[in-house]
Each structure stands twice: as C-alpha cells, then as structure tokens.
Chains A and B, each alone.
Chain A
Amino acid sequence: MNQFKYENPDQLSQKQLWLLATSAMLAQLNNQRHDTLMPKGDYTHPELVENIRHVLTRDWEINNLADLSDTIKTLNEKKSFTGELNTWEVLSGEELKIAATKKDQLGDYSHVMDMVHNYRDSLPGGDMAWHYGRCSWLIRMSAFLKYITEEEAWALLEDNGRRIKTVFSSWAEFGLSYMVGAQYWRRNTYTPEAVRRYTKHFQFLITNKESPWTHVSWGIEL
C-alpha cells in the first residue's frame, strides 16, 4: 500500500514522470512518492535524511557523486541473471529440467537452472530492469541528499531511461524483469515468500490508479 496519491504537484512533464516511474518498484518498497523527484515531495525531516543516507552508505557505499557514478557504471555493466541466461538458454528443455533437479551436484545453483527453464523464452531484457530500476532510485535519493543537483539527476535519469527503452517494450515487461532480478539476487532462498513483496508491488503498479504505470504511458518519447 502506498500512502501517496498520484497528483504531480510539481507539474513535471510526461517525460519526467516516465523517468521517475522507472524507479517505481524500489520507491514502492520504501513507501515513497512516484510523482516527484524527491522521495516524499516537499516533505523532509532530519530522520528521513539520516535514514536514506544510512541506506545509501550501508547498502551501496554511496557518499558522494563519485560513488554514485561508480555504482551506476557497475549496475549498467552487471550481468547477473542475464549472464546465466546467455550461458544456459542454449540447452534444451529436457536438459534444463534435469539440471534443476541436480541439487546434490549444483547445490543452490540448481535454482538458477530452474529460473532459466522458467524464463528462457520470456525475458528479452534478462534481469536488466533490476539494475536499471535501482539505478533510477539511487539517482533520486542522491538528489535528495544533495550529492547531485536536480539538473544532474534529470540528466542521469534520462541516460538511464534511454537504456531502458532500448531493452524493454512495456511496464509489464520491465516489472517482470525487475522481479526476476530480485529473485536471482535471493536465489539461495528460492521460495515464494522470498519474492512475495515484489509480486505485491508489481500488482499495485500494474492495477492501481495511484500507480505511475497506470498514469504514464510506456510509449512516451524521451
């Protein structure tokens, strides 16, 4: 549940709203606005600043623009599940089915084989949305913490957005790729519970009127 209505209080353009919408999965997790660059719009509080700073430092080691740049670069180049897909999708369905059962030989890697078997034909973009989506969110948070200016934030978001556009063709496709990235990240606990929050957020973003994905068409020109 997100406590914010989608109102576009800063009168952003459709393009800007589209760019913000690429951060939606992580913004939804953190109960943040989808229609402003700043996470809670005009609202700020020392505790909020501290929380976000703490998250960026603890989980991402981002303390300034240079760190952000390094992280963006890493996320853009990271292969993760896409790399696995490229390696294993050439196998036949029969081989993948067998591989998914080889827990003795592969341990938790058998989960990856199961994922390749499940998604081989349905993820043209691999799990790149997981990286691109988090990238967008980090850019927003860095702007909030004033590691970068708003102008810089929009430029970076647009850069990131172009990459997204070349790979995906709908919010649903983007969202599925994000979820798969999350599942791969948590592949050692390959259970429905491990990914339930992501499916809930996906559901909100696809169906709810307060979701950016129902307000902003995917087809917006960047």
Chain B
Amino acid sequence: MKSSDKEQQSDRSKTLQEIEKQIKSIDFDRDTGQFVTLLGRYRQISREINLAQEGQKPPLKQAVERHEGKDIQTPGQLVARFTEIYQQLETRYDLSYWKSAIKNARENTTSQPGAYCMPIIEFLSGHSLLKSEVFALLKRSFPFVALFRSPEWEDLKANNEKNYPFLESIVDRGNFELDLLIDAIPIYQYEPQKLDFILPTILHATGLQRNGRNKEAFQAIAQIEPENMPLVGWQRLLQILYQSAVLQENEKAKELFVTTMGDAVQRFPNDEELLYLQRAFLFETRPAVENKADLISMIKEHPLQLKLLFLLGKCCLDLKEFNAGHVIFKKLSEINPTNLEYAAYVTLSLNGILSRSVKGHAKEEGPKAYYKRMLQQLELDIFDLVEVPKEHIDDPDIKALKIYAHSASRAQYNGSHEPGDLPETLHNALSLATNKEVRVFLIDKLMVHYPNLDDLLEAKEMVLRFYKEFPDAHPTVFAMAGIYMAENNYEQALSFYEKARDLNPQNIYACQGVARAALHLQQYDKSIEASRIFQHERRYDRAGFYCMGKSYFDMGEYDKAYTNFKWMVQLIRPQPSAHDQYVFMASLGKHVAQLDKKAQKSLFWKREIEEALQLFDSLKKEGLGDSKQGRWAVFHAAKLCEHIAKFEKGLEYLNLVIDMWRSAGIYNLGDAATLKTRFLMMLLRMDEAKDFLQNYISYLEREQIDQEYLKTCQSLMAELEQQYVEEDDEYMKELRALVLNAATEPHRWRPEFVELMRKAMMAQAHPQMVFIGERYFQQYGTQPDEDDIFMSFWTAKAYKEFERWENAKPHFQNCLDLGAYYPKKYYNLITMAGNYLRNNA
C-alpha cells in the first residue's frame, strides 16, 4: 500500500471509530435523524475501507500450469488421478488440478475420448461434491453430450441404479446449489470426511424443505454436530424453526428456537442473519417498547446491520412513532433502492404522519409545523389541507399554501380553470410566502407551467431571479438548465442538468436533459448512459430512444442505432418527422451496407429489412418530400430493396424520390440514377433502362456537372449494352415467367432455372446466362443446394466472357465453397473453378 493510501486508511479508521462513539452515545428518541445519518455515514466509510482493502489484496491466482508426475494414457489411470485429487480439499476445489489431469490424458491417451465417459460417470457417482466449473470442464473435454443421447444411456437411466439422471444433470448443467454451499462454508476448516457429510446433508435437507417436509429437514441438519455446524447450517435450522414458531405458531418450535439460537449466537455472535432472526422472533413475542430499546442497543453494537434497523423502523410504527419510522425507512430505501418493502414502509410511515394531529408539534414549532404538514400533503396531491388554528391563520406561508391548494384542486378535479389561472395563483402565493421550503415548493409548481424550452426562455428574467435566490434548489437549477439548452449553450446546460439530477435523482427529465445536452456535445457515452436510465422510466417516450439512437448513429454503430430508431418510429406512428424517418431508414441501410455479402443475404437480415420497409410504408409521408432528410429516407428504402431483391418495390421508391427531387428543383440524381438503371435491368426492362440512363448521361454532359459520376454512368451503359438482350428474347420471356412463378412456389420452379441455364449455356447466350444466374441467386441465395455449383459456374463463365472478373470471382469461389459439401455431382466444374481462381489470383 502506498504511504498516502495508508494514511487515508488510517484516517478512515479513526473517523469510523469516532462515528461509532457518537452512535453509541446518541439518544435515539431525541436525535433520530442524526442517529440514522450517522449510521449511513458509518456504512459509507466502512465501504470505503473495504474497497481500499480489496485493492490491496494479492492478485487472483493466475491459472497454474500443473505438471502430472506421469502420463495418463487410459481411462482407468485418469480416474485414479481424479480420485487422488478428490481426496484432498485443497486439490478438489482447485480447478487447475483437474485441468492438468485432463490435458495430460488428452495428450497421451491411447483410447478414444468416448471411452472415458462411462468411467468418469462411475467415478462421479461416488465423488460428486464438486464445483460446477469441474463439471463444465468434463463436459467440454469429453463427448458426454453424445453419450447422453445414446440408447445405452437411456437404458441405464431407466434402471436408475446409480442415480444416472442426477449425474447427467450435474455434468450437463452443474450444481449451482452445491456451488453456493461451498462458497458459503469455510471448507478448508474441515476434514474431507466431515465436509463430505455436511454438504450432502444440507443438500438433502433442501430437497425435503421443497417438499414441505420441514421437520425432517430440521432433523437431517441437526445430525451435524454443533461444533462442526457451519453458519449456513445454523441459519437453515433457525429459519425452519422461525417459520414453524412464528408463522405456524407451533409452541414446541418456539422453545426449540430459543435454545438453538442460544447455541448459534454463541458461535456466531455477529452474524446479521442470526441476529435478525433472533430479533424478528422477539418482535413477534414481546411488547414493542421492549423490542425498541433492545434493537437500539443492538444497532449501536452492530451499526451495519440493515435488517435490525428495519425491525426498529417497524417497532416505531407499532408504537405510532411515525416520524422516527419514516426517517429510518427513508434511509433504508436510499441504501437499497431496489428493495420495494422499504419503499412500501416509507409510504406507510408517511401515511401515519399524515394521520396524526399537528397540534403537538405546533407547540414547539409554531406555524412551521402546519406548513410542514401542508407541504407533505401537497407533495402527495392531497389538497384537503390540515385545519389551522385561528392564531396561525394569517401566517403568510400558510396563506400561500392554502391559495395554491384551492386553485390546484379546482384545476385537477373540476377542470374549471382558465389555462392562465394556476400560474397567476402561484405568483400570488409566492408574493406572500417567506419560508424557504414553501417558496421552493411553489417555484417547483410554477415551473411546471413552462414545459417547453421556448416557454422558459420567455420567462428567463423570472427564472434568473429564482435561481439567484435559491442557487442550490432543484427546481431553479433545472429551469436554468432549460434556459441554457434553449440558448444552445450546451456546456452550461449539461452542467446544470447534471446538478439538477444530483439534487433530485427522481426527476427523470433531468436525465433526459443530460442525454440531450451530451448528444449535442458529442459526449456519446454520457448521452447513452443517461438515455438508458430515461428509457427504463419512460418506455413510451420518443426522447430516450432518439438520443441513444442518434449517439450510436453518430458513432457509426448503426445496428444499435437502428434498434432504437425502430422502436422510436413505432412510438410516434403514424407520422414521425422526416428526420426521424430518415435516421430510421439510414441506420438500417448503413448497417446492412457494412455487412459482408454473405451476411447481407442471410434470412435474418432479409426478414429484418422486409419488416422495416413494411413499417416505413405504414408511416405517413406528408411533407417528406419537402425536406432533404425526408427524401434521403425514401432513397435508403430503395437501396434496402436491393438487398432483398424486391426490385419493383425499389423502383417505386426511386420513382418517388426522383419526383420529390425534381419538385424541389433538383435534377442531379446521384446514385439514384445508377440504382434505378440496375433495378430496371434486374426486372429485364432493358429498353427502359437504356433510355433512362441515356437521358441522364445527356443531362450530365449538357450541364457539365459531376464528371466523376458521369464516368460511372457511362461504364454502366457499357455494361448494359454488353448485356443487352431484347425484351422479347425467348430466354428473357421464359426467365420472366420463372421469376413470377418462383415468387409463389419457389421449390417447384427451382430446377427450371437450372434447365434454362443449361439451354442458354448450350447456345452460348452469355448475357442471358448472367441474368438467369443473378435472378436465380436472388431467389435462392439463402438456401444452398447442389445445383448452385452449376449455376454459379456458368454465371461466372458468362461474366468472364465480358471480362468482368470482379463479378465472376465470387461465383467461382461459391463453386469451391459448395464443393466441400457437394463434391460429387459437379466434380469437374469444381475443379475448373479452382483453376480459374488460381490462374487469376
């Protein structure tokens, strides 16, 4: 440990001791708040000390390479080695020994791996008290899966002599409950024989308890001698007794509980679970007043015991000391915010407070007691406020709150307010109120009426005034964050939203603010983290999904972006904005474009694209053409159609987007021109493709723009002319019919494609061969078949005739890949494909 770390630890320990002293000396009834605060502080510092000590622990043992003394060559030798390892606890629970033995066997064996399975099973039948990691290792190393599927194994299980079903289960899935026991028990304090009695005894008791045989379970565990009983055993015994004594009110169990607990706490005097059970038992059997005193004294000795604190809270409720209970449960809920029982008790104690008279407190606190109560009520939307005695009726804060309550009640229940009334009322109330808590409350309610950033900006002067008055109050800080956001001052906005979030973690919109501001500042990790929290709370709010999606989009993680945008557009269907539709389509389009060709053609992405396009079609398109992003959304949809061979649909999108561009005075079509041409070619509408492309080339030449793209178009035109086939060409007619038929009955028409290719190949109709091949693979590419070798080879050959090696190569490669699975029928073609690839490498 560094000396500075040592000093820090020493300081912490001193602080801890100091706090411990204060806890022990404090009067709980007089200073409940302070008592609970000190417990929280004690907990925090203890954790800091533990964390620092964790950091000083020696690193985990590296995987040790063990060396076996001699070669293991047979199953019998391996089992003998396993038996040795099992005998000592230090080796039994050290995975490296098992790994080493198995590695040795695999390297030196003279037997098949399968020959090891049954001997290992036989070994395990008497030696099964192992951790799951060993079973997992055995399963990985030997073909147990095959054994368990064999008829011989089924016969053995049917006889069930050696508990084969159990053995199969632990080899297949491990034994999680045994793992827990091994972790919970200080196993190295025991001799192997003693441990080998304790572990199965407790496991057996578990089974009995699950079958409702608690008495037998108790008796089973009680067979373990008290001096050997691990903590887990005592806890189990006492749990069984507690249930019987308290829940079933069994008198014998009550007596037994007391004696057994006595034995247990003698051995484990500081265990939280035992202390809790002990106090919980007394809680049910002793007056609350006695319990309270006892619990306070116990907690002072054991300040980390949350469960005892919980019992103390319950005691306070029983004694109708609701304020004390509330303080306790609030602290517990803060420490363990996922424990809903704590949250429930916070509410129950608050309910208790609200049901009590204020008069008692008013003697000490004056009118403050009343408006404290009023604030508690108003926080819960209870507008029927506590009655105030005459002497306090003119108190300005009380008046302010009453004015607000009256107005808010009308607004909520009768809807009889004019929209402007409540804010005006709040201003009036604020003009009266003087107490800080009351003013902050009213400001918070007022800010609700400025929900949009523009609203806040208009009220900037007022917000600044409030912020100056209360710079550390959540409502004013949150409002300031909104002002900065509206002014596009994202750095300040982020800083203020983060502060607002710290001041009130319950305001989920502070989180949303962090997400938005961070997104603007390109702090994507922060935006994603805040968005995730917002999404948990607001599953149906666009904002959380937008911020997360956009962050991923900007980082180029388009698949994650797409997941978020897909949900987002469904939330705001039927009319997401042009921008939203754009990011939805673009994220999918960009992601698919990044995938390799094989993945692009997979069934998964085919379905995903179809689903996305269906969703896109269901969205309203009004106004889409008016925005650049809207138009790009349609273009991306068109591009996606290419991946799923839906050329007609793609053409529809392209025609739509081209119309949109032209309406916007844009005639430079960019990639849309070549895409449309290709779609027309795939649809065998060659004349149309040629006309369209020629017109576009003329436009580019005339306007002298985008000369790079002109070259691309000219190259495509050359390809088109090379592959040009008359539309009434007999092969094209047949191919068109096949494509139509295959759309409804793909399997039936598959061989016909092969036959058509054969005919074209015999006639050396190379352009037609290209079309036939490409349409075939568009249709059947995701379902490989032996005849694909034939189709790939001749498609590749046709491309080769046109000196388009870049198109030929993947088809020749496909021949080789499929040849590994279907080597016989097209052996010659596979060989020739290999030759072509080698010669052109």
Using a CB–CB cutoff of 8 Å, the interface residues on chain A facing chain B are 1, 3-5, 86-87, 90-95, 98-99, 105-106, 114, 118-119, 121-122, 172, 175-176, 179-180, 183, 189-199, 202-204, 206-209
Contact = CB atoms under 8 A, between A and B. Distances in A.
Contacts of A99: 180
Contacts of B232: 92, 94-95
Contact of A189 (B239, B272, B340, B536): B536
A4 B181 contact: no
B351 interface: yes
Given A179-B343, A194-B536, 19 more contacts: A5-B413, A87-B210, A90-B236, A91-B206, A92-B231, A105-B179, A119-B341, A121-B280, A175-B344, A176-B341, A179-B340, A191-B338, A191-B536, A192-B338, A193-B537, A198-B340, A202-B343, A207-B350, A209-B384
The 9 closest A-B pairs by CB, nearest first: A93-B273, A92-B235, A192-B337, A90-B209, A193-B536, A193-B537, A95-B180, A199-B343, A176-B344
Nearest to A183: B340
Contact of B508 (A3, A119, A175, A193): A193
A190 B338 contact: yes
Contacts of B179: 105
The dominant DSSP class at the B interface is: helix
B664 interface: no
A118 B341 contact: yes
B183 interface: yes
A95 B181 contact: yes
Contacts of A190: 338
Contacts, number: 117
A62 B276 CA distance: 46
B743 interface: no
B381 interface: yes
Contact of A105 (B176, B384, B506): B176
Contact of A199 (B340, B415, B508): B340
B412 A1 contact: yes
B228 interface: no
Nearest to A122: B341
B380 interface: yes
A118 B332 CA distance: 12
Interface string B300-341: 000000000000000000000000000000000000111111
A79 B206 CA distance: 20
Contact of B235 (A94, A118, A203): A94
Given A119-B341, A206-B351, A93 B235 contact: yes
Interface string B540-570: 0000000000000000000000000000000
B523 interface: no
A4 B280 CA distance: 41
A98 B231 CA distance: 14
B258 interface: no
Contacts of A209: 382, 384
A21 B177 CA distance: 41
Given A1-B412, A207-B382, A94 B341 contact: no
Contacts of B272: 93
B835 interface: no
B206 A90 contact: yes
The dominant DSSP class at the A interface is: helix
Contacts of B177: 91, 95
A175 B536 CA distance: 21
Interface residues of B, number: 46
B381 A1 contact: yes
B180 A3 contact: no
A102 B25 CA distance: 39
Contact of B339 (A118, A121, A206): A118
Nearest to A87: B210
Contacts of A3: 412-413, 415
28 contacts: A90-B206, A90-B236, A91-B177, A91-B180, A92-B232, A93-B272, A94-B184, A94-B231, A95-B181, A95-B184, A98-B183, A175-B344, A176-B340, A176-B341, A179-B343, A191-B338, A192-B337, A193-B537, A195-B340, A196-B506, A197-B537, A199-B343, A199-B347, A202-B347, A203-B347, A206-B348, A207-B382, A208-B380
Contacts of A119: 340-341
Contacts of B231: 92, 94
Contacts of B412: 1, 3
Contact of B210 (A86, A179, A202): A86
Nearest to A194: B536
Contact of A193 (B132, B209, B413, B533): B533
Nearest to A205: B347
Contacts of B296: none
B89 interface: no
Interface string B582-612: 0000000000000000000000000000000
B280 A180 contact: no
Contacts of A191: 338, 533, 536
B645 interface: no
B236 A92 contact: yes
Contacts of A202: 343-344, 347
B354 interface: yes
Contacts of A204: 380-381
B313 to A, nearest CB: 13
B340 A180 contact: yes
Contacts of B506: 196
A90 B413 contact: no
Nearest to B239: A92
Max chain A C-beta neighbours (<10 A), residue from B210, B280, B537:
B537
A191 B132 CA distance: 29
